[in-house]
Chain A
Amino acid sequence: MEWVQTIAVVLDSAVRLSVPLLCAALAGLWSERAGIVDIGLEGKMLIAAFASAAAAFATGSAWAGLGAGILASVMLALVHGFAAITWRGNQIVSGVAINMLAAGLTVILGNAWYGQGGRTPSLEGPARFPDLTLPLGAWAREHVPVVGTLYDEVVSGHAAPVYLAFGCLLLTALVLKRTRFGLRLRAVGENPAAVDTAGISVAGLRYGAVIICGALCGLGGTYLAVSQSAGFLPHMTAGKGFIALAAVIFANWRPWPALGACLLFGLLDAVAIRLQGVILPGIGQVPVQAIQALPYLMTVILLAGFIGKSTPPKASGLPYVKER
């Protein structure tokens, strides 16, 4: 049963690596479904990672960190909303600005507050989310072959934000598909004029989506700094916001396929880490960089229409101007 253990370990790290992607992808999905293109996911995760690590260090509570992370990320999201919704500015330009702002601010503040080259001091004890053990793990591992091991290794034993992220996925799928708010929100991304004619506030719905987007990025960033690592490191998001963007495109702007895309990208990452220096029979040593570049390459190929088809919400990226 050696191979079951190996597979379980790889899957476990795939889940861990895909959680920040999942949060950011859901964030992007909410925003873009409402017609606001957001390439500032990276920046919002980064600022959340910093704010959460700083708050967790100051208070000694991981949950306070989560609150601060979400707050910081929502603030940035509101800046994006102010530019994109109220002033009908270019959403891509605004997203680029947010990424730069976050990259600069986190290093400056981190350096000024802690003097460790932009890092926060490392978090210990209750300042980090502990791994939760789900019931029956050890029992299942012993008594149920394969599935039990997978349950104990892959499903159980993650920190609270991981389960929160999956809860958010469930909620996103339900709210978008089954509720009035979700229906209206999707409508605003397809045809804002129709929503406006029905007497519903386009700006209100879009601000709502942008705030939800900020909160989800906040969760993702907090997971990175307070759960996965023991503190903030400069530029620690390292392109995850953009991979999440790729996952949204891959998933055709739908929640469950987004989970699939994030798990796939997480798995690629986990495999890349394990393959470092390993020589495969017949292929030789696979360059790790080739696997790291795969999500980006696949997105380009998908967007070019060589595999499947991607159809973004019709009004995404377009500011809404009321007819006079």
Chain B
Amino acid sequence: MSATPIDLPRWADAGLVPLVSVAAALVVAGLVVIGIGESPLEATTLLLRGALGSAEGISFTLYYTTNFIFTGLAVAVAFHAGLFNIGGEGQATIAGIFVALACLWLAPLPGILLVPLAILAAAAGGALYGFIPGWLQATRGSHVVITTIMFNFIAATLSVYLLVEVIGKPGSMQAETPEFARHAILTPMHELLAPLGLKLPATPLNSAFLLALAALVAVWALIYRSRLGYAIRTVGANPRAAAYAGISPARIIMVAMAISGALAGGLAVNEVMGVQHRLLLDFTAGYGFVGIAVALMGRGHPVGVGLAALLFGVLYQGGAELSFDKPSITRDMVVVIGGVIILFAGALDGLFRRLVAGLLRLGRPA
């Protein structure tokens, strides 16, 4: 991405550079913690204990991880095609509307039909909302970045309108739909694992986590092992060469944006079908933007995305526990860390490559 590439061994490029930028981001976060008069060491201990110190903490961490896997993969797939999809929030919002409508309208169906149909509806809603900016870029030349920004706001106002005026629960003070039928929701993990003799505390972690793991594998197979994935990567690397090789960049842009949107729809599956069991306003809660940090940190590779999503899962859950113990450190700290990681791993990539190159040269015997 940087204009003057600095030669680094592949392991350093894929592992060390993101690691150094994350470490630097955590240092910045530590400075903010000092700035508000708390101890970073104590905060880190509380955070890690809250995220990983108990079965309940780990379950919550994995529930957040599920969200970040979906939004991170969404950004990553678009990245491979050379597109910057910052519309994850909007795509997930539309997916949420689709999934809620499916769960409410198709409620007479048995669960075995209803659940897959609702998941497909989420994917379709997200895909449609990602496809339109892709189509606009491919055929009308409007840039995906700007259109997806605008689409985020359009989706947000649309969901306010629908929840307040059309599909909202009558008589409710909150903008929300009625609760879904019992058979329309995803099985919580503690119920799923109970027959196997595993006793977990009741947490929001649900079977969408398994879906997220499957998505990681599927995206890996798609990007690195399929004809379409090859076309996507070729268009991302050099659209003109791709066109010369007989790949239509316009078609790939639309397909990649649709896949990206469908993956962002996974956020709606986890939150709406798995946790809230109804559609709420602003259920996306910024997960779409953190997905950008996840994808940048994970270098667009599903393994990296999975690990980065886990890191952010730890930060989210640990941050929630931390803000419980230390009210002055709110969960917004995670947003700051996300922002700094995006800055360091994405925009200041060149600086960190230079730093790592310097470090490696130091370690080498002269």
Contact = CB atoms under 8 A, between A and B. Distances in A.
Interface of A: 39, 79, 82-84, 87-94, 96-105, 107-109, 111-113, 115, 118, 239, 242, 245-246, 249, 287, 289-290, 292-293, 296-297, 299-300, 303-305, 319, 321
A229 B329 CA distance: 26
Those 5 A-B pairs whose CB atoms lie nearest each other, nearest first: A100-B339, A104-B335, A303-B142, A94-B347, A89-B347
Given A297-B154, A304-B136, A98 B330 contact: no
Nearest to B289: A100
Given A89-B349, A104-B336, A303-B143, A112 B328 contact: yes
B350 A89 contact: yes
B136 A98 contact: no
Interface string B116-146: 0000000000000000000010001111011
B145 to A, nearest CB: 5
Interface in B159-173: 160-161, 165
A83 B343 contact: yes
A249 B3 CA distance: 27
Contacts of A300: 136, 142, 147, 150-151, 154
A290 B142 CA distance: 22
Contacts of A101: 336, 339-340, 343
B283 interface: no
B347 A245 contact: no
Contacts, number: 162
B346 interface: yes
Nearest to B342: A97
A246 B152 CA distance: 13
B150 A246 contact: yes
B220 interface: no
Contact of A83 (B141, B142, B347): B347
Given A87-B2, A98-B343, A304-B140, A93 B296 contact: yes
Contact of A87 (B160, B289, B328, B347): B347
Interface string B275-301: 000000000000001001100100000
A89 B1 contact: yes
B157 A104 contact: no
Contact of B332 (A108, A293, A305): A108
A248 to B, nearest CB: 10
A96 B160 contact: no
Contact of B348 (A87, A102, A321): A87
Given A88-B3, A290-B161, A296 B346 contact: no
B18 to A, nearest CB: 14
B149 interface: yes
Interface string B255-276: 0000000000000000000000
